[in-house]
């Protein structure tokens, strides 16, 4: 028998895709049934969601603060232009999807910000979804009323 050594491959490192040919860096976020495709590039701080102004689209102050927290903690507020295409779900789902997509886009834009984004939970996918309705029940968990007689 001959002594053959097999090389163990090094662990995969995150490969940054970088900006596309137009200069945009992309990130996709999902929450419940909502999907948000987020693009960022260096600019003056414009924030547009589905062709509308950020403040017009997300009317809840809580949603706006959650999304802007990504840019505040990374120090990119006012330094990048953001465009979001959000579809599916409701306003809360689209807010969560935009939050995750923005976090992923910022990480792809500048990989040194990854520890800050992870620490604040901006790269964590919220896996909760609506539980399906089961047969023999009136809802996902609610049963039909039991009748003794």
Q: Kindly give the confidence (pLDDT) of every residue in the chain, 149 residues in length, as a single tens digit, with 9 standing for 90 and above.
A: 566 677 776 565 566 677 888 889 999 999 999 999 999 999 999 999 999 999 999 999 999 999 999 999 999 999 999 999 999 999 999 999 999 999 999 999 999 999 999 999 999 999 999 999 999 999 999 999 998 87
Q: Which of 8, 26, 28 is nearest to 17 (CA)?
A: 26
Instruction: Look up the pTM and report it.
Output: 0.84
């Amino acid at each position: 028998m001959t002594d053959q050594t097999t090389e163990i491959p090094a662990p995969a490192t995150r490969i940054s895709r970088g900006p596309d040919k137009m200069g945009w860096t992309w990130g996709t976020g999902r929450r419940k049934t909502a999907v948000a495709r987020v693009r960022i590039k260096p600019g003056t701080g414009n924030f547009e969601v589905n062709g509308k102004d950020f403040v017009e689209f997300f009317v809840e102050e809580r949603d706006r603060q959650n999304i802007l927290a990504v840019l505040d903690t990374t120090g990119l507020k006012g330094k990048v232009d953001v465009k979001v295409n959000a579809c599916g779900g409701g306003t809360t789902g689209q807010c969560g999807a935009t939050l995750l997509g923005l976090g992923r886009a910022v990480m792809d834009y500048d990989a040194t910000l990854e520890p800050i984004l992870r620490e604040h939970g901006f790269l964590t996918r919220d896996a909760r979804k609506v539980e399906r309705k089961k047969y023999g029940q009136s809802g996902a968990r609610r049963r039909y009323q039991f009748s003794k007689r």
